[in-house]
Amino acid sequence: MNFINFIKYDIWSAVKVRLTFYWWIIKYGGKKNIPKELIFARMAKSMERMNENLMKVIRRMPKNMTEEEKKELIGLVRNADMLEKEVKKHN
C-alpha cells in the first residue's frame, strides 16, 4: 500500500505538472508563448484547493495538538490565504 501511495502522491504529481507544461509548450508553440493568464489561473485554482484542504485540516484538528502546532497551522492558513490573494490579483 505504501508503494501505491508513493506513486500517487509523490511521482504522479510531478509527472502531471511536467506533462501539462510540455503540452502547453506544444500547444502554444514555445515556452515564451504560453499566456500568463493561463498560468496564473491554474495557480489560483491550485491555491484555492490548498486553502480548502487546510480548512478541512483545521476542522478535524486532533485534541492532543500542542499550542505550538496549532499556531503553526493557523500561520500556514494565513500565509496560504495571502498567497492566494496575490495570485488572484495578478490573474
What CA–CA distance (Å, rounded) separates 34 from 30? Answer: 7
Confidence category of residue 24, pLDDT binned at 50, 70, 90: very high
Average pLDDT over every residue of 63-69: 88
Percent of the chain with pLDDT over 70: 98
Q: Which three cell numbers stand for residue 74?
A: 493557523
Amino acid at the residue 86: E
* pLDDT for 61: 84
Tens of pLDDT, residue by residue over 30-49, are: 999 999 889 888 888 888 88
Specify the 3-state DSSP secondary structure of 83: helix
The more confidently predicted of residues 77 and 24 is: 24
The Cα–Cα gap between 29 and 19 comes to: 15
* Statement: residue 91 has pLDDT above 70: no
Cell 478535524, located at residue: 60
